[in-house]
């Protein structure tokens, strides 16, 4: 019998209950900083009643009465907006769960554990509930993401989380998960990131972790593999990883850690040959097997560099520079950090260097709450500190596409949204931008909020479009003056690559050959920036709109930018006519953007071979019921794959938007898609959650719950405006 359920360092039991009172959770929106608060005190709960938004996300009954049944798409938009308006948060933005990946909660909870950060019982309880709700119904394990197959990555880490939050090893669900983990080879067969976390905990030994030497940061900038050239996410993760790897730091040993050493492995812990398992990996986790180049590099690091050449002085210099870069990241983001992996890792580094009560550690602890999301199933971790600017921009555009921006009914909602984007614009570049290798960002918008402050090409574009649209609508104030709009344009213009396409956070700083050094195993396309039809289109449409209103500002550069960008879009078309999507699933998503790019320069079905092939591709995938439905596996395999559960409302919206952009001549196809979207609308105006919508790094899916509102509304609104005399019902 596996003994311990002692989980905290003072050997007290972590308090954990069956459930919390869902009536006591509240979402706090502090100007776009979101966190979920649990009101233990009854009086406090009375004074701060639950809002519609709280109840909606918690799955509690909401007051959203049935509306008259729409007889045309525009009425369906109105009904949809009636509901969606209720989800707008006090600061003017829309938020939602941004879960999906199953390795994020472990980053936060393990960081809490090793830094001895107390976990309130209501968090512990709801983390347990979420993980139990999301365990695979057959084998009891967890995958890379909520819809994925069970993997060692998901199972070893989430099992660990459950033990940390106080679940007994004898719990039937734990027994089942453990058996599944052992069948897959146990934690010795986990991918690199899991091995790293388990080594930090002291559950595994450092020899099992492939090397991540911080001295790589000392390479001169001209060196082709220098880390500053890597994709922002991987270099921000590599920083803390390299620091703790170099220190071979391990948490204080506890009963729980001793017990996990017995639970997570197949072999007798004391006899495990750690070094021999550096490259052991379960086939299901091995989406991107390490290349022979990386294996050779690792071999040299392990056998020559580390034992023979690596002096303490070099190691120390590397560690210090890595920490300096982490400090700069903390300063630039007020300790929120880029995303949910690097943030918790940085917390541990600061704890190790500066101690438990340092300001940096305390501030990290405070900000970690902004990455958590409470819902009916329990408490989960979001992929970023929210989706604020991104979803708000799409919400505004949906109203615009329906031609309703001047309708006084939506004025206050839109004004609040505009005020939010005004407040969230990034006004300055980061301090010492070049020293910390950051991209120009002044005038831009982040995906989430300005605290995080990483401008992304398409986030800047979508927000800018929304601002221009509203500010040019009679009756709306000019909150963002011309100079600030020009700042955004100046930043956008830095995003084009020599090929003409645009990437996400920065133009690529190295070639895609860098992927040979991808050590993460579980993800593809992670090492450098790539060009994306999605991002490229967003920039093209933003520049086109800007050009209409400010025809003289940097005109030549803008014209040239657009021309080259659309040319690149054409080169990215696949032989079957579709475009591969990197941030939404999958061909349906990117084809929508690509056809919009083509339409922006007047290329549509009737005059463009590219647009025609794009439309024909989409039409060939339309289902009997008029909808579209692509499975996430398409992202992994690069082939269009049908979703077994039938048409999906979000994908159907993407496809009909694409066809409308391209002026597809056979209206029947578009109408049947529109009809499906209308039929799925509930009587109170909402749409229900269906399969997962988003993706990153080819293999990991991520939820965009607001897409079921923003894209459906956009599709219906566009139809109503484009074909005002057509009927669908």
Known catalytic residues?
458
Q: How far apart are CA 460 and CA 296, in angstroms?
A: 41
Rounded to whole angstroms, what are the CA distances from 687 to 97, 217, 399, 410, 690? 16, 48, 17, 20, 9
Q: Does 237 bind ligand LAN (CB under 6 A)?
A: yes
CA distance 219 to 228: 10
Q: Which is nearer to ligand LAN, 73 or 100 (CB)?
A: 100
Distance CA 275, CA 296 (A): 15
Binding track over 639-678 against ligand LAN, x by CB under 6 A:
----------------------------------------
Name the token pair of 533.
Answer: 């039809």
Distance between CA 161 and CA 260 in Å, rounded? 11
Q: Please pick, from the candidates 401, 534, 596, 693, the single residue that binds ligand LAN as defined by CB under 6 A.
A: 534
72 vs 518, beta carbon nearer ligand LAN: 518
State the nearest-atom distance from the C-beta of 271 to ligand LAN, in Å.
33
Q: Is 161 in the site for ligand LAN (CB under 6 A)?
A: no
Q: What is the DSSP string of 673-715?
A: HHHHHHHHS-TTS-----S--EEETTTEEE--TTHHHHHHHHH
Pick 85 or 596: Cβ nearer ligand LAN: 596
80 or 240: CB nearest ligand LAN: 240
> Shortest approach of ligand LAN to residue 103 CB, angstroms?
8
- Minimum distance of ligand LAN from residue 459's CB (angstroms): 5
Smallest distance from the beta carbon of 533 to ligand LAN, in angstroms?
10
Residues between 559 and 618 that touch ligand LAN (CB under 6 A): 583
Instruction: Kindly tell me which residue out of 113, 123, 447, 589 binds ligand LAN, with binding defined by CB under 6 A.
Output: 447
Q: Contact between 260 and ligand LAN (CB under 6 A)? A: no
Interatomic CA distance for residues 81 and 399, integer angstroms: 8
Among 197, 287, 445, 523, binds ligand LAN (CB under 6 A): 523
- Selected binder of ligand LAN within 188, 346, 388, 504 (CB under 6 A): 504
The answer to whether residue 456 forms part of the interface with ligand LAN (CB under 6 A) is yes
SS3 letters across 507-575: CCCCCHHHHHHCCCCCCCCCCCCCCCHHHHHHHHHHHHHHHHHCCCCCHHHHHHHHHHHHHHHHHCCCC
Q: State how far the Cα of 96 lies from the Cα of 69, in Å rounded to an integer.
A: 27
CA distances (Å), origin 248, targets 198, 205, 298: 12, 9, 17
- Report DSSP state, residue 446: B
Closer residue to ligand LAN in complex, CB, 383/717? 383
Do 148 and 633 form a contact (C-beta atoms < 8 A)?
A: no
Distance separating alpha carbons of residues 123 and 379, to the nearest angstrom: 7
Q: What is the 3-state secondary structure (H, E, C) of 363-417?
A: HHHHHHHHHEEEECCEEEECCCCCCHHHHHHHHHHHHHHCCCCCCHHHHHHHHHH
Closest separation between CB of residue 585 and ligand LAN, Å? 12
Residues between 365 and 394 that touch ligand LAN (CB under 6 A): 383-384, 390
Segment interacting with ligand LAN, rule: CB under 6 A, options 117-125, 150-158, 247-255, 453-461: 453-461
In the bound complex, what is the minimum distance in angstroms from residue 718's beta carbon to ligand LAN? Answer: 21
Q: Give the CA distances from residue 281 to residues 188, 284, 520, 676, 699, in Å, rounded to whole numbers and listed in that order.
A: 7, 8, 11, 44, 16
CA distance 460 to 455: 6
Q: Which of residues 680-719 bind ligand LAN (CB under 6 A)?
A: 696-697, 702
Nearest distance from C-beta of residue 684 to ligand LAN, angstroms: 28
Q: Following DSSP, what letter does each residue of 267-305 receive, concatenated?
A: S-GGG--GGGGTT---GGG-SSPPPHHHHHHHHHIIIII
Q: Which stretch binds ligand LAN (CB under 6 A): 80-88, 167-175, 334-342, 407-415?
A: 334-342
Of positions 102, 301, 339, 590, contacts ligand LAN by CB under 6 A:
339
Task: Locate 188 and state its tokens.
Answer: 């010795």
When the beta carbons of 87 and 237 are compared against ligand LAN, the nearer one is: 237
Output phi, psi for 94, to 5 deg: -110, 140
At its nearest, how many Å lie between ligand LAN and the CB of residue 476? 25
Closest contact distance (angstroms) between CB of 384 and ligand LAN is: 5
Distance CA 556, CA 574 (A): 30
232 binds ligand LAN (CB under 6 A): no
User: 């529109």: which residue's tokens?
Assistant: 674
CA atoms within 13 A on the CB side of 524: 13
Pick from 144, 146, 341, 519 the residue near ligand LAN by CB under 6 A. 341
230 or 696, CB closer to ligand LAN? 696
Residue 165 or 502: the one with the smaller Cβ distance to ligand LAN is 502
Determine which residue in the list 53, 535, 543, 670 makes contact with ligand LAN, applying CB under 6 A. Answer: 535
- Applying CB under 6 A, the span of 88-96, 254-262, 333-341, 424-432 interacting with ligand LAN comes to 333-341
Least spacing, CB of residue 697 vs ligand LAN, in Å: 6
| Identity of the residue, 594 or 670, whose beta carbon is nearer to ligand LAN in the bound complex | 594
In the complex, least distance from residue 45 CB atom to ligand LAN, rounded to whole angstroms: 33
Q: What is the H or E stretch that residue 125 is in?
A: helix 121-134
Backbone phi and psi for residue 642, each to the nearest 5 degrees, phi listed first? -75, 145
Residue 532 or 617: the one with the smaller Cβ distance to ligand LAN is 532
**CA distances (Å), 560 to each of 500, 556, 566, 623, in order?**
9, 6, 10, 39
**Between 610 and 696, whose beta carbon lies closer to ligand LAN?**
696
Residue 248 makes CB contacts below 8 A (sequence gap 6+) with 199, 206
Residue number, 83 or 454, with CB nearest to ligand LAN? 454
Point out which span in 195-203, 284-292, 297-305, 456-464 binds ligand LAN (CB under 6 A).
456-464
Total interface residues for ligand LAN by CB under 6 A = 20
Out of 233, 680, 708, 714, point to the residue binding ligand LAN (CB under 6 A). 233
Annotate each residue in 457-496 with x if it binds ligand LAN (CB under 6 A) or - if it does not, as one string: -xx-------------------------------------
Contact 104, 381 (CB under 8 A): yes
Q: Whole-number minimum distance, CB 166 to ligand LAN, in Å?
A: 27
Site string for ligand LAN, 114-143 (x = CB under 6 A): ------------------------------
CB of 532 to ligand LAN, least distance (A): 7
Residue among 233 and 669 whose Cβ is closer to ligand LAN: 233
Burial of 449 (0-12, 13-18, 19+ CB in 10 A): buried
Q: Which of 18, 96, 36 is nearest to 706 (CA)?
A: 96
Question: Which residues contribute to the site for ligand LAN (CB under 6 A)?
Answer: 233, 237, 339-341, 383-384, 390, 447, 456, 458-459, 504, 523, 534-535, 583, 696-697, 702
């Amino acid at each position: 019998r596996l003994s311990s359920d002692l989980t905290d360092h003072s050997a007290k039991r972590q308090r954990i209950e069956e459930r919390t009172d869902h009536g006591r959770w509240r979402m706090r929106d502090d100007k776009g900083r979101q966190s979920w608060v649990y009101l233990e005190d009854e009086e406090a709960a009375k004074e701060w009643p639950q809002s519609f938004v709280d109840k909606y996300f918690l799955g509690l009954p909401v007051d959203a009465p049935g509306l008259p049944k729409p007889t045309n798409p525009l009425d369906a938009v109105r009904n949809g907006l009636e509901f969606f308006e209720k989800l707008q948060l006090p600061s003017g933005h829309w938020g939602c769960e941004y879960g999906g990946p199953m390795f994020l909660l472990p980053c936060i909870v393990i960081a809490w554990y090793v830094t001895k950060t107390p976990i309130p019982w209501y968090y512990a309880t709801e983390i347990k509930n979420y993980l139990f709700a999301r365990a695979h119904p057959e084998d009891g394990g967890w995958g890379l993401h909520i819809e994925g197959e069970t993997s060692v990555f998901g199972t070893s880490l989430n099992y660990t989380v459950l033990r940390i939050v106080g679940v007994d090893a004898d719990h039937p669900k734990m027994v089942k998960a453990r058996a599944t983990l052992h069948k897959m080879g146990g934690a010795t067969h986990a991918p690199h990131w899991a091995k790293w976390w388990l080594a930090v905990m002291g559950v595994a030994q450092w020899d099992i972790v492939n090397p991540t030497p911080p001295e790589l940061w000392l390479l001169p900038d001209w060196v082709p593999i220098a880390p500053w050239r890597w994709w922002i996410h991987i270099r921000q993760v590599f920083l803390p990883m390299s620091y703790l790897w170099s220190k071979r730091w391990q948490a204080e040993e506890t009963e729980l850690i001793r017990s996990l050493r017995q639970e997570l492995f197949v072999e007798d812990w004391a006899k495990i040959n750690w070094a021999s398992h550096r490259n052991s990996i379960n086939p299901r986790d091995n989406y991107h097997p390490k290349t022979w180049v990386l294996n050779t590099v690792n071999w040299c690091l392990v056998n020559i560099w580390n034992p023979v050449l690596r002096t303490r002085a070099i190691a120390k210099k590397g560690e210090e520079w890595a920490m300096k870069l982490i400090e700069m990241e903390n300063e630039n983001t007020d300790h929120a950090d880029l995303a949910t992996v690097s943030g918790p890792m940085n917390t541990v580094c600061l704890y190790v260097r500066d101690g438990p009560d340092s300001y940096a550690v305390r501030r990290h602890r405070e900000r970690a709450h902004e990455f958590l999301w409470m819902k009916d199933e329990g408490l989960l971790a979001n992929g970023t500190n929210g989706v604020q600017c991104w979803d708000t921009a799409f919400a505004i555009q949906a109203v615009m596409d329906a031609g309703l921006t001047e309708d006084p009914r939506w004025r206050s909602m839109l004004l609040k949204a505009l005020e939010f984007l005004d407040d969230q614009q990034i006004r300055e570049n980061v301090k010492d931008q070049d020293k910390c290798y950051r991209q120009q960002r002044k005038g831009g918008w982040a995906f989430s909020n300005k605290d995080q402050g990483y401008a992304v090409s398409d986030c800047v574009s979508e927000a800018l479009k929304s601002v221009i649209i509203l500010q040019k609508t009679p009756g709306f104030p000019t909150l963002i003056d011309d100079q600030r709009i020009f700042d955004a344009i100046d930043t956008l213009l830095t995003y084009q690559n020599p090929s003409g396409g645009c990437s996400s956070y920065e133009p690529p700083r190295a070639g895609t050959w860098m992927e040979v050094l991808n050590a993460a195993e579980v993800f593809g396309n992670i090492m450098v920036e790539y060009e994306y039809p999605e991002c490229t289109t967003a920039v093209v449409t933003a520049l086109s709109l800007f050009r209409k209103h400010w025809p003289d500002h940097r005109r030549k550069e803008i014209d040239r930018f657009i021309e080259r960008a659309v040319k690149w879009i054409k080169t990215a078309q696949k032989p079957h006519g579709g475009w591969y999507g990197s941030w939404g699933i999958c061909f349906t998503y990117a084809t929508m953007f690509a056809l919009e790019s083509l339409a922006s320069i007047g290329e549509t079905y009737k005059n463009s071979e590219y647009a025609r092939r794009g439309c024909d591709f989409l039409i060939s995938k339309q289902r009997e019921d008029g909808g579209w439905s692509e499975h996430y596996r398409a992202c992994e395999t690069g082939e269009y794959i049908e979703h077994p559960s039938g048409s999906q409302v979000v994908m159907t919206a993407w496809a009909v938007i694409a066809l409308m952009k391209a002026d597809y001549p056979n209206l029947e196809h578009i109408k049947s898609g529109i009809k499906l979207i209308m039929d799925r609308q509930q009587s109170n105006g909402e749409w229900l959650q269906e399969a997962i919508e988003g993706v990153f790094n080819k293999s990991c899916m991520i939820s965009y719950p607001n897409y079921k509102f923003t894209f459906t509304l956009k599709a219906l609104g566009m139809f109503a405006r484009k074909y005002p005399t057509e009927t669908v019902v």
